[in-house]
Structure 1
Amino acid sequence: MRMGKAMLAAGRGLVLSVLTLVVSVALFTVTVVSLSLIPIGVGLFTTPALLRVVRRYADYRRRLTGRWGGLTVPSPYRPLPADPPSGLKGQPKLCFLLLNDPATWRDLLWLLVDQLAGGLLAAVPPGLILQGLFGSVLAAGVWKPIVDADGTYWYEFLPIDSQSDANLAAGLGAVFIAIGLFFGPAILNANFRMSRALLAPTPKMVLAARVERLTETRHNAVDTSAAELRRIERDLHDGAQARLVAMGMSLGAIEALIEKDPAKAKQMVAAARTNSAEALAELRDLVRGIHPPVLAERGLGDAVKALALRMQLRVEVGVELPGRFPEPVESAAYFAVSEILTNAAKHSGADQAWLDVSYEAGALRITVTDDGQGGADLSAGSGLRGIERRLGAFDGILAVRSPIGGPTMVTMEIPCAPTALKG
């Protein structure tokens, strides 16, 4: 097992050293030349394309560091505008956008260090093994034609001009192989740690991204709240308010008719009673849309179970929660589930859905799966984008997997902590 791991490290080191020698050196050289041409204008048009290639290569090395080194390396780049500059005229603006990102310069620093130190670290394990194998080859008789052609041959610090000398070279080669196999994984891990140190975002970059994210989610929360207030105002104006106004007019007419035409007044009283019941039902629906009573009284688990019972499609619900959570978190999660289940019932053609709600690793995790036709796209629909904005106010995330033909799986995570545990 240890031997296999050592040989795997040597093979990976060989791949990394070739990548460094071919790709890192070439990219660094060409990019630096392009940057030097910016003052005369040529670099404004060549640099954006080169920097994008550098980013793709750096992202590839980040993934390689994760797969081979077991070290997570997040992407540090600032997001480009939703509609980035394009075309020939947009290249200078795009160039300055990329150059203003600190991650661009860290990528270039990494390319420089990678070709100097990284390539050396990666080449040591396979180099030692290959050099050791060559010592064994010398002892097999290869030393004789070499010495006959060029005289004494030096294998490291050993002069080779006889079989006994070649046998010593084989022994030294065995030492090289042992060192390469024993220390190879640790040496390669040093390469991965060096890459992570330069390719991962710095604390300052993480803080800047965090501030930008919070600013964006704050604006989204304000916009969502304003839209919700407009919806409540519209529902009150078109629904309960209109009915109450009609009831007021009916009561005025009843007051005038109660002595002249008691029968007609009685009919109008019955109609007013019906309108009052409908107005009350609309107000209850409106209140339920703002904050369902079952959510306030029983918590998220019972609220989503009650919600599932009202859906047009069958919903299997699994809930494993340690207790209650902050009211804003429960509300956001509840309405997100409501929106997703409603979309599944209306648009997916699904017959059944599965809802799982749990709390894992400091986050509320919700998964909704349906057996519909699939094709849901986070970037295309306003409904899913609205859910993403709602969750973003709590640093939550939304992931959608919906291949054509189904099934669709929507996963949500909201970082939070329980406010009250189950008794």
Structure 2
Amino acid sequence: MNTTTKNAPLATRTRVVLLAGVRSLGLSLWMLPVAVLCSTLTLVSISLVPIGIGVFTTPPLLGAVRKFADVRRRLAAQWYGIRIPSAYQPIPQNATPWTRTSTLLRDPAVWRDLRWLQVDMTAGYVTALLPALLLLYPLEGFAVAAGLWRPLSRFGGYWYGFVHVTGQGSALAAGALAAALLLLTPFAPRLLTAHFRLTRAVLGASQAELAERVRVLTETRRDAVDTSAAELRRIERDLHDGAQARLVAMGMDLGTVEMLLDKDPAKARQLLAQARQSSADALTELRDLVRGIHPPVLAERGLGDAVRALALRLPLATEVSVELPGRADAPVESAAYFAVSELLTNAVKHSGADRIWVDVHHAEGMLRITVTDNGKGGAMAGAGSGLSGIERRLGTFDGVLAVSSPAGGPTMVTMEIPCALS
């Protein structure tokens, strides 16, 4: 209890203590069987990974453990304001079972969850149950003193704590002990708080993991800034060498036309036609430049229609499936669009495929995009490849990229970006 609770009226303090007891009882009733079941099944499943069976059972079981841990995090925050940080590595849903399993087993947060299950079944269970016992055990002592000892005496007496109840006198002694224990009930909220602090100590991400998370996010943000600077330089170069040069030439032609109107009308008409063509070329270059910055169809119609427009311009047969009930934030849509654009360009240039499939949908707070081709395979997301650039682009938004591209194909690239849709 904090100072505010200590200084609160008796009714308020009683309500706080009773609420802690109810929470303690409810928590202890379900946490032990769930922890034992999750721990047993998960450890058995991990042991079966080498023979292949565990590859299919481990990811869903570890997902269940994570949900169980997230429930405890939520209760700790809602009941006592104890924040338990987590730092799970994101995993694309459409990754292969081997990829998902290996990624999960390399995640320190997963092993921390498994260690927490062992603590939760022992010390964690005791600290969760004690607040309820502080409230219920004195009630049992009062019941014994009130006469419950009589039916129990048929079995050679009854032990209440260290008091052996065999008659009314010893029953009253048990009632006195219950009254003394009742004085300890105000500590019930503190014991439940201790349970969640123990949970935080075992389940919470370590400072080293959080620091590593910050480092990764810092790098991805730096990459985003560098990419933006490079994009600005490209735009400046394209404007200077393209549209600006054509507009300057068009201005010079119009100046010459002005001088030749009376002297040489035929030559003036020729220069006017040349200026008209220069203006058309400049307009085309400006449109291409704008499309490269942020395609109008993306701004007006959203990611789904923008990806469909990309597919229509490809020389290969492309099927696009879109299930988006709303729109993501503009920066997320832009990152996803250009990532898909680069993947489609790579598939056309390097895969040798004759068919491409694109799937775009949103589920469980994730924008998931899968680009698949039936080409020769062999794509890798190593340093220097186009895929690594896409990975950095997605990393700006905590997104991930997974590549499945065995020799001989097919190639499947899955992207995930956490986001909410409007």
- The Cα shift of 1:213 comes to 1.6
Residue in 2 aligned with 1:227? 231
For residue 218 of structure 1, what is the amino acid of its counterpart?
R
Maintained 8 Å contact 1:78/1:209: no
Q: How does 1:14-29 map onto structure 2 within 5 Å?
A: 14-29=25-40
Whole-angstrom CA distance in 2 between matches of 1:228 and 1:379: 18
Q: Which residue of structure 1 lines up, in the alignment, with residue 326 of structure 2?
A: 375
Q: Report the secondary structure of 2:183's partner residue.
A: helix
Tell me how far 1:379 sits from its aligned partner. 9.3
Tell whether the 8 Å contact from 2:158 to 2:166 is kept in structure 1 after alignment. Answer: yes
- How big is each residue's C-alpha offset from its partner over 1:386-407, in whole Å with a ceiling of 9 and x where there is no partner? 9xx9999799xx97663xxxxx
**Post-superposition offset of 1:11:** 1.2
Q: Give the letter for the 2:32 counterpart.
A: L
Match of 1:150 in 2: 155
Offset at residue 221 of structure 1 (A): 2.9
Residues 300-339 of structure 1 aligned to structure 2 (within 5 Å): none
Structure 1 residues 251, 6: CA separation in 2 closer, same or farther (over 3 Å shift)? same
- Equivalent in the alignment of 2:146: 140
Give the 3-state SS of the residue equivalent to 2:100 in structure 1. Answer: helix
Distance 1:14 1:66 in 2: 18
Contact 2:32 2:120 in 1 (8 A): no
1:250 aligns with 2:254: yes
Q: Which amino acid aligns with 2:157?
A: T
Supply the AA of the counterpart residue of 2:182: I
Task: Give the superposition deviation at 1:228.
Answer: 3.4
**Gap change, CA 1:109 and 1:60, over 3 Å in 2:** same
Change (3 A) 1:269 1:50: closer
Q: How does 1:5-404 map to 2 (within 5 A)?
A: 5-81=16-92, 83-85=94-96, 91-147=97-153, 149-180=154-185, 182-236=186-240, 239-253=243-257, 257=260, 260=263, 375-378=326-329, 382-383=333-334, 402=422
Amino acid in the other structure paired with 1:134: E
1:31 is matched by which residue type in structure 2? T
Match of 2:7 in 1: none
User: Aligned partners of 2:55 and 2:420: how far apart in 1?
Assistant: 38
Task: Give the distance between the partners of 1:109 and 1:249, measured in 2 at CA.
Answer: 78
Could you tell me which amino acid in structure 1 is paired with residue 263 of structure 2?
Answer: K
Q: Take 2:142 and 2:297, find their aligned partners in 1: how far apart are those partners?
A: 69
Unaligned runs of 5+ in 1: 86-90, 272-277, 290-334, 349-373, 403-423
Distance 1:225 1:201 in 2: 34
Distance 1:401 1:7 in 2: 42
- Report how far residue 20 of structure 1 moved: 2.6
Shift of 1:152: 2.2
Q: Secondary structure at the match of 1:79?
A: coil
Question: In the alignment, is the contact (CA less than 8 A) between 1:65 and 1:192 conserved in 2?
Answer: yes
User: What letter corresponds to residue 191 of structure 1 in structure 2?
Assistant: H
Measure, in 1, the Cα distance between the counterparts of 2:269 and 2:225. 48
Q: 1:260 to 1:378 in 2, by over 3 A?
A: closer
Determine the C-alpha separation between the residues in 2 that align with 1:40 and 1:383.
43
The alignment partner of 1:150 has SS state of coil
The 3 A distance-change label for structure 1 pair 215 and 81 is: farther
Tell me the distance in 2 between the aligned counterparts of 1:35 and 1:269. 78
* Offset, 1:248: 2.2
- CA drift of 1:258 comes to 7.8
C-alpha deviation, 1:192, in angstroms: 0.7
Give RMSD over aligned pairs.
4.3
Contact persistence 2:257–2:272 (CA under 8 A): no
Q: Is the 8 A contact 1:131 1:173 kept in 2?
A: yes
C-alpha spacing 1:84/1:214, structure 2 compared with 1 (3 Å): farther
State the aligned residue count: 310
Q: Is the 8 A contact 1:84 1:94 kept in 2?
A: yes
Distance 1:385 1:253 in 2: 48
CA contact (8 A) 2:328 2:419 kept: no
Aligned equivalents of 1:385 and 1:139: distance in 2? Answer: 72
Alignment deviations for residues 220-270 of structure 1 (CA, whole Å, 9 cap, x no partner): 333333333334444455543321111223344556x38835x99999999
Alpha-carbon distance change, 210 to 240 in structure 1, aligned in 2, over 3 angstroms: same
Q: Distance in 2 between matches of 1:269 and 1:57?
A: 76
AA in 1 matched with 2:328: D
Alignment identity in percent?
34
Shift of 1:83: 4.5
Give the AA of the match of 1:248: M
In 1, Cα distance between equivalents of 2:16 and 2:183: 13
Structure 1 residues 393 and 344, CA gap change in structure 2 (3 angstroms) = closer
Aligned-partner Cα distance in 2 for 1:128–1:64: 21
* TM-score of the two chains, using structure 1 as the length reference: 0.61
Aligned CA distance change for structure 1 residues 250 and 344 (closer, same or farther; 3 Å): closer
Conserved? CA contact 2:145–2:172, under 8 Å: yes
Unaligned runs of 5+ in 2: 1-11, 274-278, 303-324, 338-391, 399-417
What letter matches 2:147 in structure 1?
G
Distance change in 2, residues 1:253/1:73 (3 Å)? same
Give the deviation of 1:42 after TM superposition: 2.7
Report how far residue 185 of structure 1 moved. Answer: 0.9
User: SS at the partner of 1:154?
Assistant: strand
The one-character-per-residue Cα deviations of 1:137-171 (angstroms, maximum 9, x if unpaired) are 11221111110x21222211111122122122112
Q: Secondary structure at the match of 2:184?
A: helix
Bigger CA drift: 15-24 or 135-144?
Answer: 15-24
